Amino acid sequence: MPIIKNKWLGVSIIVFIANAVIALLMTPHNEWGVDFTAMMVHSECIGFAIFGIYRLLAVTLFARRDFGLLRQLVSAVFAGPIGYMLGTVLAATLLGEPEPLGELLQTSPVLIGFTVAASACVSYFLWTRRRLGEETAAHARAQSLAAEAQLKLLQTQIEPHMLFNTLSTLHTLIDIDPPRAQAMLDQLITYLRSTLAASRAEHITLHNEFEQLRAYLQLMSLRMGARLTFTLELPENLQSTTVPPMLLQPLVENAIKHGLEPKIEGGCITVSASLTSGKLLLEVRDTGLGLQDGEFSGGFGLTNVRERLFALYGQHAALKIDSLSQGLAVLITLPHAKS
């Protein structure tokens, strides 16, 4: 982020410094015996007059950006001599010097040439500075669009993943337990209605996220029966905290698929939120099988959450897995944001 936020204030400071350097260099060697103060007045008046003429040409005759560098050089050729004359008259008037027009007639071609060259150099610097700014902005915009596209892709991958698993279970239950299949279908419709709008949003409150989790876990409880119990712990002061939508559901899915479903007696899932040292801590804890042979891949869901966290928060968010005496705990740490 630039220190000087106002664009033209920054450019004016650059012009002022360039004029001061020119005055400093010319004072010891000028043939008129002018001291530094008078030379500084002349240099600043001439420099800003040239800059003013340059800007006038840029926004009128050469307003189109297609001219690019050619516009800068043509502007400098015209702005240099005209700005030199106007600046000299202005400086002489400010200093009370007699006959400023006579002084102009005595100006050497070398000095005029030096002025044109200096204005061309400043114009080239401003052009490269603008081009660099435009390229930087374009690059940042491209990165932002790429990150946004990636997030939308990752988010849309979650819903079919959960839906396919549920429909597969329904397909099985239709033949062996139609009443249970009907009840599951009703729960699925309720779940989809409650999550459709939120799943398209960039952020939702933790209250809504936990309500969607409740609907999802009730659906899974209907599928697994007494083998699945769950607890949701959301403090009152974190109800309005915002998070990416469907951030926790893939972790809950993993806990069921890798931890509880393969376990004969099933188990319990606890989802909690807390605030620690200004950071939001989200935890999905299960009493499932835990690590098998010291390994846990987490599959699709964990990979999705990792990538979404990195795309949204970079190094400011973290996800880690802790092995428990019974089961696993997946912990997400991310910046705390209230809606």
pLDDT digits (tens, 9 = 90+) for 180-233: 888 888 888 877 776 666 666 778 889 988 988 888 898 888 778 889 999 999
Q: What tokens were used for 301?
A: 């869901």
* 323 lies in the same domain as 198: yes
Q: Are 156 and 149 in contact (CB under 8 A)?
A: no
Asked, for residue 187, whether it belongs to a domain, the answer is yes
* 306 lies in the same domain as 190: yes
pLDDT tens-digit map of 308-330: 888 788 888 999 998 888 889 99
* 214 lies in the same domain as 103: no
* 76 lies in the same domain as 194: no
Based on the structure, what is the number of domains in the chain? 2
For the chain, give the number of residues: 339
Per-residue pLDDT of the chain (339 residues; tens, 9 = 90+): 344 445 667 777 877 887 788 777 777 666 556 677 887 887 788 878 877 877 777 667 655 554 456 666 666 667 767 777 788 788 878 877 765 544 544 555 655 566 666 666 666 666 676 677 667 766 666 555 455 555 555 455 555 666 777 788 788 888 888 888 888 888 888 777 766 666 667 788 899 889 888 888 988 887 788 899 999 999 999 999 998 887 888 889 888 888 898 888 989 999 999 998 889 999 999 998 887 655 555 566 677 788 888 878 888 899 999 888 888 999 999 998 765
* 126 lies in the same domain as 193: no
Q: Are 176 and 154 in contact (CB under 8 A)?
A: no
Q: Are 289 and 262 in contact (CB under 8 A)?
A: yes
* 131 lies in the same domain as 246: no
* 183 lies in the same domain as 325: yes
Asked, for residue 159, whether it belongs to a domain, the answer is no
Q: What is the CATH number of the domain that holds 201?
A: 3.30.565.10
Q: Could you say which of 140, 159, 190 is where a domain stops?
A: 140
Amino acid at 41: V
Asked, for residue 98, whether it belongs to a domain, the answer is yes
Q: What gap in Å lies between CA 6 and CA 8, rounded to an integer?
A: 6
Amino acid at 225: G
Q: What is the DSSP code (8-state) at residue 292?
A: B
Asked, for residue 171, whether it belongs to a domain, the answer is no
* 56 lies in the same domain as 132: yes
* 117 lies in the same domain as 205: no
DSSP string over 56-115: HHHHTTT-SGGGHHHHHHHHHHHHHHHHHHHHHHHHHHHHT-S-HHHHHHT--HHHHHHH
* 219 lies in the same domain as 328: yes
Q: What gap in Å lies between CA 336 and CA 74, rounded to an integer?
A: 54
Q: What tokens were used for 56?
A: 């006038």
The strands making up 318-323's β-sheet, listed across from edge to edge, are 228-233, 267-276, 279-286, 328-335, 318-323
Q: Could you say which of 140, 163, 194 is where a domain stops?
A: 140
Asked, for residue 92, whether it belongs to a domain, the answer is yes
Q: Which domain does 320 fall in, by range? A: 177-335
Asked, for residue 151, whether it belongs to a domain, the answer is no
Asked, for residue 22, whether it belongs to a domain, the answer is yes
Q: What gap in Å lies between CA 274 and CA 281, rounded to an integer?
A: 5
* 42 lies in the same domain as 127: yes
Instruction: Tell me which residue has tokens 């799943």.
Output: 199
Q: What gap in Å lies between CA 328 and CA 292, rounded to an integer?
A: 11
* 133 lies in the same domain as 183: no
Asked, for residue 128, whether it belongs to a domain, the answer is yes
